[in-house]
Amino acid sequence: MSSNLPVLLPAALIKVFAVAGFLSAIILVLNAAKRSGIIATTPFTQLAAPVAQLAAIGLVIGIYVVTSRKAGFLGLSGAALSVIALAGLVGVEFVLNLVFPYVDRDVVALLRSGPLALALTVVSLLFLIGTIVFMVALWRTSNAPRGAILLYAASTVPIALRPVFPETALQLGLIGLAAAITWLTTWMLRNIPREPLEADNQQPVTGSKAS
């Protein structure tokens, strides 16, 4: 039983990360619908918003586990930057959805003109850079769908640089990112590493030579 653990454990973890990926995609669509007015802003939608970034951390880790043998330093750097940035974006979404709507506009303007503005900018740029590095590594070292990689990278731009893009571009970015995440998550599930099992099946030859 223990000989199967090197395979079963990563496979089980990747399936958990896949659930996180699908959850992130669902919440991104929910966020886009909320921003466009298709659904109303409620405490539930506000609380759900940060979960998209939190779940995306699982997706990034899952993709890296699948590609780690070939990803190299570039893939590791991109994955690390993406995880750090997504963790920061969880805080950003908490502020945007659970703080700003409940304080006076003058207070919001004051906060945006202080250190918070710098923090938001740094996290957003780190998210953009980390995503690009990770997607480049994925493009170069894996058989991930090229369309999904391009869509993921392109959708990140209006999200990371939301102050300079119109609201429609941001909504399209959220939908595009949700589609790319779903695409990559499906690919990830179809590419769970199985090499350790194959190695385990090769029994060592001992005592075969007569003394």
Distance CA(60)–CA(175), nearest Å, equals 18
Alpha carbon 39 to chain centroid, angstroms: 24
Q: In this model, does residue 209 exceed pLDDT 70? A: no
Q: Tokens standing for 182?
A: 């779903």
Distance CA(54)–CA(186), nearest Å, equals 19
Measured at the CA of 124, the angle between CA 159 and CA 50, to 5 degrees, comes to: 70
Distance CA(188)–CA(116), nearest Å, equals 36
Domains of the chain, by residue range, sit at: 2-195
pLDDT digits (tens, 9 = 90+) for 10-54: 788 889 999 999 999 999 999 999 988 899 888 888 888 889 999
Closest CA to 133 of 184, 60, 189, 186: 60
Percentage with pLDDT > 90 across the chain: 47
Q: Tokens standing for 91?
A: 């805080």
Q: Are 181 and 57 within 8 A, CB to CB?
A: no
Alpha carbon 132 to chain centroid, angstroms: 12
Q: In this model, does residue 131 exceed pLDDT 60? A: yes
Q: Are 99 and 58 within 8 A, CB to CB?
A: no
Q: What pLDDT does residue 206 have?
A: 45
Average pLDDT of the chain is 84
Closest CA to 61 of 96, 10, 8: 10
Percentage with pLDDT > 70 across the chain: 87
Q: What pLDDT does residue 205 have?
A: 45
Model confidence at 4, in pLDDT bands (50, 70, 90)? very low
Amino acid letter, residue 134: F
Helices 43-98 and 115-141 pack at an angle, to 10 degrees, of 110
Average pLDDT over residues 199-209: 45
